Structure 1
Amino acid sequence: MLRLKKYNFKSKGFTLFSLLFVLLFSSCTKIVELDLETGDPKIVIDAEIIWEKGTSGNEQSIKITRMASYYSPTTPKVSGAQVRVENSEGAIFTFNESEPGLYVCTNFVPAINMEYKLFVQVDGQSLTATEKLISVPQIDKIEQELMPDISGSDFILVSFYYKDPADQLNYYLIDYKVDYQAYPEYTLTDDEFVNGNEINEKFGGTDLKPGKIVGITHRGISKNFYNYMNLILEVASSNPFGAVPGNIRGNIINTTDANNFALGYFRLCEANRISYTVK
């Protein structure tokens, strides 16, 4: 079972800080502002259809933004797009703009293993992507324990358990949210070596104290999205002094101009959501 643990998206700031620190230390006279190359302001589509267990899944949203320069304090929102999703039975779900860059549907009908197709019209371009809605097993239990730490005091470890289906290969994406981290921590898991067995996922650390609330979202995802997130998370935790990676392509295709591709990934996931208070 592959687990890529403790990934978060603080690396952008860490990379910049590290480079500035080296430059400042070497000169000791002034702060050097890096002259970074600005790429094309590509469209970014954050299209996650997430069906939380125990809910109807009718309310879904899609965010459309545009790439900005590294130092930009804001992310440009894209208004005026036409957004819809169609399932393989021909049902159409329209996403209407509720605020700049946010498109909302209130009558979506999720169905496990149903194929859905995203259509976006924006800036005179037609964008599309296709994906299936992937199921996730029910979480059976959640526990916590104290783990010894050779560098200091024991720390709290929170674990949750679920039974992996035996009749298929499965892929999972988990994120953990706590108030002392600015960004979620992500874990990818597959069942290559534990197919059909009980799987447990763990989250902990020295900052996890009694009374803290851990928000857990456990998704079932497709193999293609697993591979995409694997690349994203590897880049997010990469060496800050390594080569700058290129944009990672998702599954969104520009049918008007293939070279003018959008960033992002259209994915549909069933999910468990837990809010756990540390004891």
Structure 2
Amino acid sequence: MKTLKKIILGITAIIFASCEDVVDVEVQEGPKRLVVEASLDWEKGTDGNVQTIRLRESTPFFNTNTNTEVTGASVVVTNDDNGAIYNFEDQGNGEYLTMNFEPILGQTYSLRIEYNGEVYTAEETMTPVTDITNVFQDRKDGFDDEVLEVHVVFTDPEEVGNHYLFKFQREGDLLPDLEEGKDEFLNGNEIDWWYEIEEDDNTDIEPFKPGDVVNIGMYGISKSYYDYIKILISQLGGVGLFESTPVDVKGNCINITNPENYAFGYFRLSQVVKTSYTFVED
């Protein structure tokens, strides 16, 4: 039904050298760009009023400088259907916060960012998600029948075109795993989505074991975001969502002042259901 995204991002530099000659390898650096992390997630059972948008500047691939937060920008989200305006206040650390956002399923919202004399805009619809009906463990459906896997069960709504983002993170692990899915061949059916961790001797990653706790998020996403995140997951394979990638992946944030100076990242509005599962002896 799916393929686990366990790609490890690697860069191989082949250097021919003798005992006397040194070869310098120059890596071309692209221009700095605005990076927009604007995921407005509305967890079921909450008001969804508190939302944060994060801005930073991109860095060259090998640059370890982490002080790239963007401050002094103007960040505004507007509900295009009812005209409500939400100002995101600068927190001085790259985060922009609002306390009064009102998420409404099916309605369209616009993002406007003013930074360094340029204006960036994006548009997206708040996308619903169905409920998780069961979570359980097994060993029979993964790539290794000796390895524990967690199963997330839900019933896909009958309307055509549902797309999903799954986030799995074992407590104690540094980064989550992301997987994308759609209902192309499963529309209106009960879906059993499984996830396992394969052993990796190079990174000391171990499979699930009894006592492990995995936190799970299932997000309803638009088709356009599905297309975007599918490419991004295939490139990153475990690297942070907004780190440098081998090929530029353009999101939906458009620079209307200077189109050539486009931004990275995406403006997304998703309803999400969250749960956790603790593995037991079987």
1:209 match: secondary structure: coil
Q: Which structure 2 residue ranges, 5 or more long, are not aligned?
A: 200-206, 239-244
- Give the Cα separation in 1 of the matches to 2:225 and 2:237: 18
175-184 or 40-49, which deviates more: 175-184
Matched, 1:61 2:62: no
Matched, 1:275 2:266: no
Q: What is the identity, as a one-letter code, of the residue corresponding to 1:217?
A: G
Q: Counterparts of 2:170 and 2:35 in 1: how far apart (Å)?
A: 26
Report 1:1-279 matches (<5 A). 3-7=2-6, 11=9, 15-16=10-11, 19-20=12-13, 23=15, 34-75=25-66, 76-88=68-80, 89-147=82-140, 154-179=146-171, 181-205=173-197, 207-237=207-237, 245-279=246-280
Q: Kindly provide the CA deviation profile for residues 173-228 of structure 1, in whole angstroms up to 9, marking residues without a partner as x.
A: 11111246432211111101010001121112352111111111110000000011
Cα distance in 2 for partners of 1:28, 1:220 equals 56
Deviations 1:9-53 (A, max 9, x none): x52xxx13xx15x65xx7697997743211101001010000011
Q: Distance in 1 between matches of 2:49 and 2:71?
A: 23
Distance (Å, rounded) in 1 between the aligned partners of 2:192 and 2:223 = 20
The question of whether the paired residues in 2 share the 8 Å contact of 1:128 and 1:253 is answered with: yes
Check whether the contact 2:160–2:183 (CA below 8 A) recurs between aligned residues.
no
Report if aligned partners of 2:253, 2:263 keep a CA contact under 8 Å in 1: yes
Shift of 1:277: 1.6
2:171–2:215 contact (8 Å) kept in structure 1: no
Aligned length: 263
TM-align CA RMSD:
2.6
Q: Distance in 2 between matches of 1:32 and 1:200?
A: 53
**Larger helix proportion, structure 1 or 2?**
1
Paired with 2:247 and 2:155, the residues of 1 have a C-alpha distance of 37
Contact kept, 8 Å, 1:171 with 1:223, in 2: the verdict is yes
Q: Distance in 2 between matches of 1:185 and 1:147?
A: 21
* Cα deviation 1:93-141 (Å, max 9, x = unaligned): 1111123111111110001001000010001101100000000000001
User: CA, structure 1 residues 154+92, in 2 after alignment: closer, same or farther (shift >3 Å)?
Assistant: same
C-alpha displacement of 1:233: 1.8
Question: Percent identity, aligned pairs only?
Answer: 31
Does the 8 Å CA contact 2:121/2:255 hold for their aligned counterparts?
yes
Change (3 A) 1:28 1:97: farther
Separation of aligned partners in 1, 2:46 and 2:70: 29
Query: How far, CA to CA, are the matches of 2:259 and 2:75 in structure 1?
Result: 19
Question: CA shift at 1:69, angstroms?
Answer: 1.6
Query: Can you give the 5+ residue segments of structure 1 that lack an aligned partner in the other structure?
Result: 239-243
SS of residue matched to 2:225: helix
Any conservation in 1 of the 2:70–2:94 contact (CA below 8 Å)? yes
Structure ranking higher in strand proportion? 1
In structure 2, relative to structure 1, the CA distance for the partners of 1:210 and 1:95 (3 Å cut) is same
**AA at the equivalent of 2:148:** I
What is the distance in 2 between the residues matched to 1:180 and 1:32?
41
Q: What secondary structure is seen at the aligned counterpart in 2 of 1:127? A: strand
